[in-house]
Structures are given as C-alpha cells and as structure tokens.
Structure 1
C-alpha cells in the first residue's frame, strides 16, 4: 500500500531532463534584447543632440517658401487621364 508521502513524492511530470536548454536560451534572449535596447537608446540620444536648439518658424519673414512637388505626378501642367506610363517610361521599364 502507498503512503501519502510516497504518492506526493512521486514524479508524475515526466522526464525532467528534456527542455534543459530553455533556461539558458531565455537568459540569452533577455540579455540580447537588453543590449539592443541600450544601443538603440544611445543612438537616439546622439541623434537628438545633433538637432538644432530651435527650428525656424513656418511664417518667418524674409524666407521664401518653395512648393513641394510630388515626383509621381509627372511633368507640371500635363494631366494624364490614365495612370499608364508614357512611351519613354515604357521603354525604360522593359
């Protein structure tokens, strides 16, 4: 007959040697993520230090505002009814 102590002491969880790499692999991943995070923070701080203290205002007098042109619109003033490429673009793409 089994006593209560023998039933509780019995290993019903299978082989305890399988999955022995999970602990070291988890530690490696945590250390790697911490290292990458520290390097990312250092890089971002260096980039922020290179920024100017103040940026010029949008409506600053004496400053000429240039229009931003979208290069996907094609030549200025030429509207195309379709989005098909023209002859020079077709030749260049083939």
Structure 2
C-alpha cells in the first residue's frame, strides 16, 4: 500500500525530457519581444523630438456661406435658387420622440 508521501511524490506529468526545448524557446521569444519594444520606444521618442514645441494657432475654417451664393438643385438641372434663409439651428429643428 502506498503512503501519502509516495502518492504526492509520483510524477504524473509524463516524461519531462521531451519538453526540453520550451525553456530556451520561451527565453528567445521574451528577448525578441523586449528588443522590439525597445526599438519601438526609441523610434517614437525620435519622432516626438522632431515635433515643434508649439503648433501655430489655427483660425476658424473658411466658410462658403456668402450672401451672393447660389444653391443649385441637382434634381432640376441648372436652375439657381435663392438661399436667403439660413439652415435651422438645433432649437428650431424638432426632436423625434
């Protein structure tokens, strides 16, 4: 009859010699990932150093809304329509629901 120490001491994991390549392969993958991470960090730092300290202030976007602008309806050919009424704002538009 087996004692508790003998049961716990048994190797139930099979032959451990066949997986002898797992340790070196794991070390190789860790080194490759660490090298790639270091190279990516260096590349990112060099790109950040090339950026200017401050970016120029951007003005408001150029608007195409002029008083003399004409809106052409694509469904009616080349007839021009007057666009004297502005587009409705958020308060003027009705909400669904």
Calculate the TM-score normalised by the size of structure 1.
Answer: 0.55
Please name the residue that 2:29 is paired with: 29
Q: Larger % of helix: which?
A: 1
Measured on the aligned residues, the alpha-carbon RMSD in Å equals 2.0
Q: SS of the counterpart of 1:24?
A: helix
Partner Cα separation in structure 2 for residue 23 and residue 5 of structure 1:
29
Please name the residue that 1:6 is paired with: 6
Q: Larger % of strand: which?
A: 2
Partner Cα separation in structure 2 for residue 10 and residue 28 of structure 1:
31
Please name the residue that 1:15 is paired with: 15
Greater C-alpha radius of gyration: 2
Report matched runs for 1:44-83 at 5 Å: 44-59=44-59
- Alignment length, in residue pairs? 61
Calculate the TM-score normalised by the size of structure 2.
Answer: 0.53
Partner Cα separation in structure 1 for residue 29 and residue 11 of structure 2:
30
Deviations 1:7-65 (A, max 9, x none): 222222111112221111111111111111111111111111111111111118xxxx6
Q: SS of the counterpart of 1:25?
A: helix
Q: SS of the counterpart of 1:30?
A: helix
Name which structure has the greater RCO, CA cutoff 8 Å, separation 6+: 2
